[in-house]
Structure 1
Amino acid sequence: MTKIEGALNHQTGVQNVKVLFNASKIKAEFDDSQTSADDLANVVTDLGYEVKSSKVKAL
């Protein structure tokens, strides 16, 4: 598990996280009543990584 996956998995409402390093993407399943894509982007930024955009797609 990567540092990013570990940090995001500890966020309230996050069910599943997968970091796709080759594509420079993160796929996360989360309950949007408990957290948001912006909240998750802030966690990644706090770890020292740059977030270029956060796009949310409903499943």
Structure 2
Amino acid sequence: MKTATIQLETLTCPSCMQKIEGALKNLDGVDKETLKVLFNSSKVKVNFDEEKVSIEDIELAINRVGFDVLKSKVK
């Protein structure tokens, strides 16, 4: 498992968090139990299985629901 911290442009409402969570929970390989969208800091913290999903797939899912990724850090 890898852990990613993804910095987004400013989140403006709780429904933004729900859109992002919904998009990422649909990806095979994302650990749904540890997924966190942090409203105040506009960050997403997610654990994922790099054999099933890539950080690029995760970023694309975020982009598809209308949010821009500023940077991602994977450990």
Q: Give the TM-score category using the shorter length.
A: 0.7 to 0.9
Secondary structure at 2:47 match in 1: strand
Deviation at 1:24, TM superposition (A): 1.1
> 5+ unaligned residues in a row in structure 1: which ranges?
none
The size of the alignment, in residue pairs, is 57
CA RMSD of superposed structures (Å): 1.3
Deviation at 1:47, TM superposition (A): 0.7
Choose from 21, 27, 33 the match for 2:45: 27
User: Would you tell me which structure has more strand in proportion to its own residues?
Assistant: 2
With the length of structure 2 as denominator, give the TM-score of the two structures: 0.70
Structure 1 stretches of at least 4 aligned residues deviating more than 4 Å after TM superposition: none
Secondary structure at 2:73 match in 1: coil
User: Would you tell me which structure has more helix in proportion to its own residues?
Assistant: 1
Deviation at 1:3, TM superposition (A): 1.2
Greater RCO (CA < 8 Å, at least 6 residues apart): 2
